[in-house]
Amino acid sequence: MNRFDSSALGLIATLLLSATLSQAEKTLEVIAFGSCLQEKRPQPIWESVIAAKPDLFVLLGDNIYGDTRDMAKLKAKWHVFEEKPGFRKLRENCRILGIWDDHDYGENDAGIEYPKKIESQQIFLDFLGEPKDSIRRKTPGTYDAVTIGPKGKRVQFILLDTRYFRTALKRAPKREKGKGPYGPDESDKAEVLGETQWRWLEKTLREPAEVRIIASSIQVVSTTHGWETWGNFPKERGRFLELLKKTKANGVIILSGDRHSAEISKLNGALPYPIFDVTSSAMNQTQKPGKEENPHRVSDRYFRENFGVLKINWSKPKTRVTMEIRDLVGKVVRTAQVDLP
């Protein structure tokens, strides 16, 4: 290699490092998110997402409907999604973070028992553009954390894996009208995150940040609908809330998907401040309106195509976060606001 080649490579490396550092120090003001994208269907909602001018987008799971043990088919479905014009355009303009749920993991309602989870993880990380030498390639599960922003305006994204280690769901003894088939599993062996991920989560929650966005593919606050929720694992949910209290985690907002409807839930009393769980689902599917119990719901559910937006106002004495559910054309249809301690 001649001197010119060495100098050129050095310059490129410096520029890439500078760009990475610059991105890490960027102040985030608009964060968009969503879930449940049927890759075979049109995805016109991306135009409204792009129009919202997000600094970052979080994919919350069911990003494709893989539902297979054939890894060639799963990989092909990821390729169909990443070639969608709207998604490609968004990816060119803002950073993408992501978690998976059951359908992109590989099977409906699947957990630790899914036999292709190791292979599926590598395909998912390929889609995210994770480097081949990344520690995420060698660690079971896809959980990760990223902190962006300068001191005083740091946003920590905690990306949970609620699939890889989750034990089997327990069927309710009797299915109630208007509810799903599952019920709470009080067993000490019932798990969502697994011990390694729990230890990592405690360490991560102790890291400095002003706002903490916890991405969970399934709902944390809403617990009684009988479909997938942390409420099916009451001891794990209790452990999660106790960990937030133990670590004195400030500025927590939960993002979730999965439900094919959108809602904002608010839990009082667990922390010195209310915990909001903002559920955005689905981005290109709809659900027939129906009643569903959720005593923590703010306003009512939204059943048409939607995505979510968090707007962070750093100029207030306390950081103010406005949570929005937006429809197919970008109109705000549900909203709530919190001043974080």
Q: What is the mean pLDDT of residues 307-314?
A: 99
Spatial CB neighbours of 174, under 8 Å, sequence gap ≥ 6: none
Give the span between the Cα atoms of 120 and 69, in whole angstroms: 9
Measured in Å, how far apart are the chain's first and last C-alpha atoms? 55
The pLDDT score that the predictor gives to residue 23 is: 64
Looking at residues 106-133, what average pLDDT do you find?
98
Give the residues across from 229 on adjacent strands: 219
Roughly what angle, to the nearest 10 degrees, separates helices 71-82 and 117-128?
A: 20
Specify the pLDDT at position 328.
99
Whether pLDDT at 144 is above 90: yes
Q: What is the pLDDT of residues 257-297, one digit of tens each?
A: 999 999 999 999 999 999 999 999 999 999 999 999 999 99
In whole angstroms, what is the distance from residue 120 CA to residue 62 CA?
13
Residue 178: what pLDDT? 87
Alpha-carbon span 92 to 86, nearest angstrom: 10
Q: Does 54 have pLDDT greater than 60? A: yes
**Runs of H (alpha helix) within the chain:** 3-25, 45-51, 71-82, 85-93, 102-105, 117-128, 195-205, 234-246
Interacting residues of 280 by C-beta distance below 8 A, sequence separation 6+: 33, 34, 35, 60, 255, 256, 257, 262, 306, 307, 308, 325
| pLDDT for residue 22 | 58
19 pLDDT more than 60: no
Single-letter residue type at 268: N
What is the model's pLDDT at position 6? 44
The answer on pLDDT for 21 being more than 50 is no
pTM: 0.93
Query: Would the pLDDT of 13 be above 70?
Result: no
Percent above pLDDT 90 for the chain: 90
Arithmetic mean of pLDDT, 30-49: 98
- What is the rounded average pLDDT for all residues in the chain? 94
Higher-confidence position of 237 and 22: 237
Residue 308: burial class (beta carbons within 10 Å; 0-12, 13-18, 19+): buried
Higher pLDDT, 237 or 317: 237
What's the rounded mean pLDDT across residues 117-135?
A: 97
Q: What is the pLDDT of residue 3?
A: 40
Measured CA to CA, the distance from residue 97 to residue 330 in angstroms comes to 21
- Pull the structure tokens for residue 6: 């060495």
Residue whose token pair is 């997402």 = 49
Determine the angle formed by the axes of helices 71-82 and 85-93, rounding to 10 degrees.
70
Domains and CATH numbers, the chain: 23-339 (3.60.21.70)
Statement: residue 77 has pLDDT above 60: yes
Write out the two tokens for 49.
């997402």
Residue 25: predicted pLDDT: 85
